[in-house]
Structure 1
Amino acid sequence: MTFSRRATLGLSAGLIALLAAGHASAADYTLRLHTLVKSPHPYNDMAQAFKAQVEAKSNGAIEVKIFDSGQLGKDPAVIGELGFGTVDMMISSVSNAAQNVPEYGIFTMPYLFKGMDEAVAKIEPGTAVAAHFQEIYEERGVGMKLLALGASGTRNMSTAEVAIESPVDLKGLKMRTPPSPMDSKTWSAFGMQPVTVAWGELYAAMQTGVAEAMESSLPGYNGSKLYEVAPNLALTQHTIQINHTSISQRTWDKLPEELQAIVSDAAVSANALGVEKAKGYDAALVDSLKTDHGVSVSTPDKAAFIEVVAPLQVKLAEELDLVEEYKLLTE
């Protein structure tokens, strides 16, 4: 078979166009984004929103691959991977980062904020608190850059056997805590026995009696089906769950300035979405947990819980060397 010169030129032009199109569609950068939680959850909503904005604004120069449900490992290990640049980003609770950034422990202090709006106003991008924690990242050499701090709902208590109506009901219970000294000291003040258990092992711990009580966000409680092993939910609303969106410093340094700006803006936008999603989840989940899963829900008088922890706040901040963070958040 023979081709005319015109046909050959046409074929060459077509091939060049095809190769060019293939090259244009290939992302220059791929960001592997970790979350620990299962959907529905604000963190996964944030991840999807971040992906959509970054890929659109970068015209495909950046591809975001989301790994939810702890596919890349537990948070402390993933933070180490961010330091090496083998994982690029994460959206997660600050309490799970307290081993690497001990100052994050301040956010697990019960009744530190009156509500979500107050928390967001204190910690959102552009605040002194956000700048403070970015400086801590740099000082500690964790290999991460903080893109945003946000709030993702209230944390509440649940138990395997005991209905919680007042602080008296907590005495003697084995209380699951993350690896946070603040949590251990706080729940000990209620006469509980702290037991450190990783989030991914919590279901089994509650099921086997290693722990008898736990606390979590409502989306986390629902998404991990913890109502099956801790069906007594008490709306203590003792803390506002604070989350961080962080990127590997090595990954950040590889991005051109114009792409850094796109990533940063998308993180801030996703953070704002996460706050609104969290509010909606909290309101809807209480009803569905009762109706669909038979969860017994109590609403204790928070004043009784505050009475126990209020005198401890300054003391705890001093003991854990968190005085500067406590002042930033309460003044």
Structure 2
Amino acid sequence: MMRRMFLGLTAALAAALAVGSAQAATVLRLSTQVAPPHPFLDMADYFKSEVEKQTNGEVQVKIFPNASLGKDDAVLNELKLGTIDLMISSTNNAAKQLPQFQIFDLYYIFPNYDSFNAATAPESPVFKRLQEIADSRGLGIKILALFGSGTRNLSVASKPVETLADIKGIKMRVPASQIVAKSWEALGTVPVTVAWPELYAAIQTGVAQGLESTLSGYLGSKLYEVAPNLVLTQHSINGSHFSMGERSWKKLTPEQQAIVQKVATEAGKLGTQKGIEADDKLAGVLEKEHGVTVTRPDLAPFVEAMKPLHDEFAEQIQATDLLELVRGMM
């Protein structure tokens, strides 16, 4: 009788401890705008797996893809409030809250991935300066990683593009970034601001006739269905950020913070690598499996149109110091 009571009490205690442990777990909600396949989701999956493993389940991550928690503007505000914990996105989608993020939107500013990786490394002066600016603007975010998720390229609905003159006058979809809009205006197009989740419909209905994106974003969102002419302009390495709300960060123990930061840094490196891999193979996949017409124009006219604008644009977004930091790392 006593043995049965003891065993019963032991089982009850074990169950109570299990419930308490589950209740103690911190669940982090991670938002991103994209659908698979995409480097952002490769990163999110890696981050979730490693954080949960390395914290022994004390910190759990729930991933919300395809803008299911809202557009980036709203998500950034939710990060500040602590109602969403993490986000992985392109820096140009944060242009309203952090205009200096648009330093990555200066087309052809980075000649290669080595220079880009040097500028976005956690210990780089560019990284540190961007965090200082975010703090001074009261955004309530901690930038965990800056990374690249592939080169951005032009896609057009109506016709193949062989030269810069071929895009003159087309309605070009741009995000809410003044620099991106002015860049495409300088290239001869008519910029039209459209949020990423609304892009497919905008091209389909003729609100916009062209777009620029990574190859992963182009494939994952099936934009090839409405803009089947891919132009490998490679005008920028897609500057991207992995950020966490300060309120959510402060909920973690110092040990958990160290793990989250370490894994996020690793995830950023993974995102950059996945972007490079996507650039290497996806143009061929799109051409062979989805009937996309791929052209490779002479990029010299594109580069020449952009370089004189770097200083002007940097001054407009109060990022002249960042531009000089980037140039100093070349």
Q: Same-fold call, TM > 0.5?
A: yes
1:157 lines up with 2:154 in the alignment? yes
Match of 1:134 in 2: 131
Match of 1:285 in 2: 282
More displaced stretch, 198-207 vs 21-30: 21-30
Out of 75, 78, 93, the position equivalent to 2:75 is 78
1:30-62 superposed Cα distances (whole Å, 9 cap, x missing partner): 100011100110000000111111111111110
- 1:242 counterpart letter in structure 2: G
TM-superposed CA distance for 1:236, in Å, is 0.3
TM-superposed CA distance for 1:194, in Å, is 0.7
SS in 2 for 1:59: coil
Moved over 6 A (4+): none
Match of 2:259 in 1: 262
1:198 lines up with 2:203 in the alignment? no
Out of 115, 123, 136, the position equivalent to 1:118 is 115
| TM-score (ref. length: structure 1) | 0.96
More displaced stretch, 287-296 vs 249-258: 249-258
Matched-pair contact (CA < 8 Å) for 1:116–1:153: no
- 1:207 counterpart letter in structure 2: Q
More displaced stretch, 160-169 vs 76-85: 160-169
TM-superposed CA distance for 1:162, in Å, is 2.5
1:178 lines up with 2:170 in the alignment? no
Partner Cα separation in structure 1 for residue 93 and residue 236 of structure 2: 15
1:326 lines up with 2:323 in the alignment? yes
Unaligned 5+ segments in structure 2 are none
1:72-129 superposed Cα distances (whole Å, 9 cap, x missing partner): 0111110011010000000110010111101111211110111223211211111111
1:308 lines up with 2:305 in the alignment? yes
Match of 2:226 in 1: 229
Partner Cα separation in structure 2 for residue 206 and residue 224 of structure 1: 12
Match of 1:56 in 2: 53
1:168-217 superposed Cα distances (whole Å, 9 cap, x missing partner): 11211111110111011111112211110000111111111111111000
Match of 1:246 in 2: 243
Match of 2:165 in 1: 168
1:65 lines up with 2:47 in the alignment? no
TM-superposed CA distance for 1:24, in Å, is 3.0
Partner Cα separation in structure 1 for residue 312 and residue 198 of structure 2: 31
1:32 lines up with 2:29 in the alignment? yes
1:211 lines up with 2:208 in the alignment? yes
Q: RMSD in angstroms over aligned alpha carbons?
A: 1.1
Q: How many residues align?
A: 328
Matched-pair contact (CA < 8 Å) for 1:172–1:191: yes
- 1:67 counterpart letter in structure 2: F
TM-superposed CA distance for 1:25, in Å, is 4.3
- 2:259 counterpart letter in structure 1: I
Identity %: 46
Match of 2:94 in 1: 97
Partner Cα separation in structure 1 for residue 55 and residue 24 of structure 2: 9
Partner Cα separation in structure 1 for residue 317 and residue 50 of structure 2: 39
Partner Cα separation in structure 1 for residue 92 and residue 248 of structure 2: 24
| TM-score (ref. length: structure 2) | 0.97
SS in 2 for 1:168: helix
- 1:69 counterpart letter in structure 2: N
